[in-house]
Amino acid sequence: MSPEEENKIIDEAYQALINSYLSSSHRKHVERIEKAYRFARRAHEGIRRRSGEPYILHPIAVATIVSQEIGLGSRSICAALLHDVVEDTEYTLDDIKAIFGDEVINETGQKVGDKVANIVDGLTKISGGIFGDKASAQAENFRKLLMTMSSDNRVVIIKMADRLHNMRTLSSMPPAKQKKITGETMYIYAPLAHRLGLYAIKTELEDLSFKYEHPNTYARISEAIAASEEKRNSVFERFSRPIRERLDEEGFVYEFKARVKSCYSIWKKMERKRIPIDEIYDIYAARIVFECPEGRDENDDCLKIYRMISQLYRTHPERTRNWLINSKPNGYRALHMTVMGPEGNWIEVQIRSQKMDYNDEHGNAVHWFYKEDGAEIDENDQFIKWYKEIEEILKTPEPNALDFLDSIKLNLYARDIMVFTPKGDMLLLPKNATVLDLAFTLHSEIGTHCIAGKINHRLVPLSHKLSSGDQVEILTSQSQKPQPEWEKFVITSKGKRRLNMAFRHMRREAMERGEEKFKAFMAENSVEITNENLARIINHLGVQNKEDLFYKVGQGKIELTPMIIKALKPASQGFLTKLWRSSFGSSKSSKTTSEPTGKGEEIDKRKVYVLKTVDGKSNYHLANCCHPLPGDDVVGYIDSNNNVVVHKMDCPTAMKLKTGFGSRLVETQWETGSEKFFASVRVEGVDRMGILQEIIYLISTNLAINIRRLSINSDGGVFNCEMDIYVENVNTVTKMCKRLSRVKGVTKAIRQS
């Protein structure tokens, strides 16, 4: 491409940005944006992206997302255009300030240059992606990202736009880098977009990640959606016609359309229910967006439309979601209902005003982010409450980096249930939250001393899961202390964090008691506490270190006896002992030499690593957490011994590895071979005479598959069968499940691992 052609492409991209800005409701400061653009273009002159295109196209694209898809104004657009200047060029923040001269923001009196430079500074500090090669660096960089929300909240929004454009242009990256970027996108960015209310961006991030992690599955679902378009449109037309007639009669000005669900959300449902795409009927959702004239209550209009549709179609009694009064924590408001369509399939209908729809598309949280200094903020806003929780986590982070990230991640998802205190105060909690979660949500002291709960005056244990509408009373006792088993049924980040803090406090108290007892014991026996003496006692008692020693003494798990003093005296070695040690070495050295000292061959991460088995020896290890099979979409992780450990792409452990250790990932490819692999299959159905024999005959004889374990249970005419088998690849399992599904009485046959 000639320089003239490139310049034309750049100019057209910039003009598209200006056009989107001019069509917005913001006050027009085109000259301000023009200054930033000219400076950015000069700074990035001659620099190219990995794809080969001029680098300036990237900041223009990020600025366009910020303006057109998120709806921010001129200062954010300027910061987006300049977001890589300080990191990638020789220019400084002072140079950025100088671009805008003495121009002042009328509302605050601040200089425009200072404000834009502050945003760019925040973006520079978290540059290079949230996640580094080490988990500790990863957590620290993510902490920086969230802390910028307290200085200028637009930093996190522009970073989101930057990530979206990087995902849109991910094809130019090498495969291992793609896995790292998609991993951190799914682990943090998509949930964060969800929490911010940026649903369109969240959906696209998920879909793009899915496209690169499961390319074949993504292609199959896309093709199936395209193939069903004509039939889908026909059904929607018949479904929507009577609703449109009623809306027209009532004088509503509206838009009524069907929105196809994303490939990723369809795939998640296929995985969750273990069904093929042709058995998923709710591939699309219908949406009514209406104009609400000034002075009319938009909630009343939503309910009016709901009643109209209820008179036309049968509603699903358990699938109505009302987020009109009590919005989701990210500010999402709408009324959802599910009705029986013309072909006997359930169809979800989303009812919302234009204002609700705008907030959904652009993110309600963005409007809070974009408030000018001094603007009044509603302390009861659910997003504000969430942000305060994030601030609390940042002040007392988990010592372990990945635990910190998990704690943050738990806070990124919207809450699903509403519970009430005995006084009628409402609290929002995640689905599956327990009585103990609620206790820790109320206060750390209530959580640590909680003994049980009362739901609607009925006594329930701490592990009892709460449901929407429950009125819960927490019962406490001062003698109660946190128990280790509590960790099994605390799911909220606040509960986990406060429980861990209580455990650490209890451990510290026990260590202090133990240290006092130990010092008194040593003094009574006139023994000096030296490093040498401590080392001998630690070795004698088999504890890890002195902290472990003090803790176990304080807990009463170790009794201080005269035998400990005897252990301080060096034992005399007999003749046979000396002969043994001189001939064969000590037990310690023997243990050391028995451990593997070599590492695997060096692996070129730039190339595709072929997973193969030669003479019974494999050049990889299968992860026990997900049991991948040849044919599965997998990712290779190079461990500390330079061995390649293979995980399924959507394995939770793999998600963490992709997020925290991207530099250790390697693109993999299965080699066809004769090796057998473990798989677990579950079969369900209606019990009848001889069905088990038919299943076994089909698997062992017709398909020649080796069954290693089989367990069957029948109750009330329904049977459940679990079996472990050995197969060559995932296609064998898929074929087996399809054949089993045709057996009379079998309702489901699915692979479990």
pLDDT in tens, 383-396: 555 556 655 655 55
Distance CA 732, CA 499 (A): 46
Percent of the chain past pLDDT 90, that is, above it, reads 21
* Residue 87 pLDDT: 87
Model-wide pTM > 0.85: no
CB-CB contact of 491 with 430 (8 Å): yes
* Residue 152 pLDDT: 60
* Residue 238 pLDDT: 92
* Residue 131 pLDDT: 36
pLDDT in tens, 182-203: 888 887 788 878 777 788 889 9
Distance CA 354, CA 361 (A): 10
Taking residues 566-595, what's their average pLDDT?
A: 46
Distance CA 135, CA 659 (A): 8
If you ran DSSP here, which 8-state letter would residue 315 be given? Answer: B
pLDDT-derived band at 377, boundaries 50, 70, 90: very low
pLDDT of 88 strictly over 60: yes
Q: Is 122 strand, coil or helix? A: helix
Amino acid code (one letter) for 131: F
Nearest to 277 by CA among 212, 218, 355: 218
CB-CB contact of 91 with 121 (8 Å): no
pLDDT-derived band at 127, boundaries 50, 70, 90: low
List the single range of 347-351, 372-376, 485-489, 667-671 with lowest mean pLDDT: 372-376
Distance CA 708, CA 725 (A): 6
Average pLDDT in the chain: 80
Nearest to 488 by CA among 477, 496, 480: 496
**Using H for helix, E for strand and C for coil, what is the string for 407-432?**
HHHHHHCCCCEEEECCCCCEEEECCC
* Residue 547 pLDDT: 83
pLDDT-derived band at 678, boundaries 50, 70, 90: confident
Residue 283 to residues 33, 347, 349, Cα–Cα distance (Å):
42, 9, 12
More confident residue, 156 or 130: 156
Total H helices, total E strands in the chain: 31, 22
Taking residues 530-552, what's their average pLDDT?
A: 81
CB-CB contact of 473 with 453 (8 Å): yes
- Helix 154-168 and helix 175-184: axis angle, to 10°? 150
Question: b/e map of 214-250 (b: 16 or more CB within 10 Å)?
Answer: beebbeebeebbeebeeeeeebbeebbeebeeebeee
pLDDT-derived band at 600, boundaries 50, 70, 90: low
* Residue 687 pLDDT: 84
pLDDT of 93 strictly over 80: yes
**Using H for helix, E for strand and C for coil, what is the string for 663-724?**
HHEECEEECCCCCCEEEEEEEEEECCCCHHHHHHHHHHHHCCCEEEEEEEEEECCEEEEEEE
* Residue 336 pLDDT: 93
CB-CB contact of 644 with 744 (8 Å): no
Percent of the chain past pLDDT 70, that is, above it, reads 83
* Residue 250 pLDDT: 92
Q: How many C-beta neighbours within 10 Å does residue 474 have? A: 23
* Residue 561 pLDDT: 82
Q: In 433-585, where does DSSP find H-type helix?
A: 435-442, 444-448, 493-524, 531-541, 546-555, 562-566, 575-584
> What does R_g of the chain's alpha carbons equal in angstroms?
31
pLDDT of 497 strictly over 60: yes
pLDDT of 310 strictly over 90: yes
**Owner of token pair 């069907």:** 258
* Residue 71 pLDDT: 82
pLDDT in tens, 241-262: 999 999 999 999 999 998 888 9
More confident residue, 510 or 107: 510
pLDDT-derived band at 577, boundaries 50, 70, 90: very low
List the single range of 392-406, 512-526, 543-557 with lowest mean pLDDT: 392-406
Taking residues 690-697, what's their average pLDDT?
A: 86
pLDDT in tens, 402-458: 555 555 555 554 456 778 888 877 787 877 889 999 999 888 899 999 999 998 778
pLDDT of 540 strictly over 90: no
